[in-house]
Structure 1
């Protein structure tokens, strides 16, 4: 590790597991002090203990924007400032076989977490950064917000909203030297799909996940599997001065999926003797 975030303070929402955990670990390894916010008290406390004195966990539900504000103020009070805000917390929503069967009962819940919390986190972090020389705000979206497709329609709509908001906030906050960028992971194995499959038994879920991942793998130009570490590397770039002239961008971490489907090349036939 290179210590690129030495002296920096970061907040990572949804930081107790999955992508958020990977980002928190990488940031601490690079010298940052990290406040981890999550609803999972046990996992969050365990992660903070594992990371040591440079990490602190706060139990928070980002569906309540007052708790988002508390994460920002706690980071400032505990560590003396805020330089990087990662709005990572998100939910997929209930999965349905067809959009025609979707009762939209989870719409408000998904939008509160995936959109409103991102807006609140950006706003609250920017209020501090605007008075202290700027900073970096990183919003987690998804290739589902870039590329149209069937299934989890509310989730797709929420992630598309994050992209438009990120670009708009980047334009307005540039005056204060605040950079706002988004990362769009694709086919990174985390528990978000598993958590969304309410009412499905484990075997059916595993079969569903396997089928979806196989299709994505076949369509993806790069055949290596994406990892949480790949996303953390992108977040590190946006968090550091290496991206000081970069704002309003959306970076897919997806093996080329949104660029287009893989080209299937047939093996060359052997020449006759």
Structure 2
């Protein structure tokens, strides 16, 4: 379809880089005007300059509810409405060798960005949409919230909570013609995995990142890596009218990882028990 989002206004949190940037670019390519909400000011401003008048930047820490509310107001003031809210912003937290070594020092920050940010974005976007004919809300989880596993426990818990929240919000908001759906990416090469290893020495971090990526590849049926653009296609689908009969849906974009292991490939050895899945 061409211009699938023509005339629509969207907000993408965490839109300056990675999956968020791919979603911003895809939405704009389909005719939407987009607010790029992020704390990465330089990256976001560069993106907005490259996209022209179809986008604007709003500095937003989604862990701050007041900033999320102001971001929604800004979108309405800038473009005259809000039709699509993509709650994409997320952080991994620190990776530890085992859960017994995790002091949970980053619990509050991870939950504030990953879960509170999604809940606040949904709440304030829905408050506008409820009085203006409805809309679409797209929340970003992870296959780390679908499948149990070792490592990055706070991250996994936050992403699992997003799935439950999405389904619950879908039930409550249907009366306002607001659809709420969820994407669970997996095995998408972005900076998220490396960010979780910042406390490690560079050499060990690089080695572990490569090992985890190799393990992800052997654990999924499709051999090729996923891309941010693959996730952006799912975000476009949920945002547009093609998904008008879908709400409360969780869509893994993971090369089949959550379906099960491939039959004829051996698993690669991994140094750590687990890692962020996207």
Q: TM-score, normalised by structure 2?
A: 0.94
Per-residue deviation at 1:198?
Answer: 2.8
Structure 2 CA distance, aligned partners of 1:130 and 1:60? 23
1:105 corresponding residue in structure 2: 105
Per-residue deviation at 1:70?
Answer: 1.2
Structure 1 runs (4+) greater than 4 angstroms displaced: none
Q: TM-score, normalised by structure 1?
A: 0.96
Structure 1 CA distance, aligned partners of 2:93 and 2:184? 18
Structure 1 CA distance, aligned partners of 2:205 and 2:198? 10
1:270 corresponding residue in structure 2: none
2:239 corresponding residue in structure 1: 239
Instruction: Say whether the 8 Å CA contact 2:92–2:152 is kept in structure 1.
Output: yes
**Paired positions, count:** 266
Partner SS, residue 171 of structure 1: helix
Structure 2 CA distance, aligned partners of 1:265 and 1:61? 42
Unaligned runs of 5+ in 1: 267-273
* 1:62 is the counterpart of 2:48: no
Alignment of 1:156-175 (within 5 A): 156-175=156-175
Cα distance change, pair 108–79 in 1 and its aligned pair in 2 (3 A): same
Question: 1:3-33 CA deviation, whole Å, 9 max, x = no partner?
Answer: 1000000000000000000000000111000
Structure 1 CA distance, aligned partners of 2:188 and 2:16? 17
1:30 corresponding residue in structure 2: 30
Output the aligned Cα RMSD: 1.1
Instruction: Say whether the 8 Å CA contact 2:94–2:199 is kept in structure 1.
Output: no
Partner SS, residue 16 of structure 1: coil
Alignment of 1:114-125 (within 5 A): 114-125=114-125
1:5 corresponding residue in structure 2: 5
* 1:93 is the counterpart of 2:106: no
1:129 corresponding residue in structure 2: 129
Per-residue deviation at 1:265?
Answer: 7.2
1:269 corresponding residue in structure 2: none
RCO (CA 8 Å, sep 6+): is it higher in 1 or 2?
2
Unaligned runs of 5+ in 2: 267-278
Structure 2 CA distance, aligned partners of 1:125 and 1:249? 19
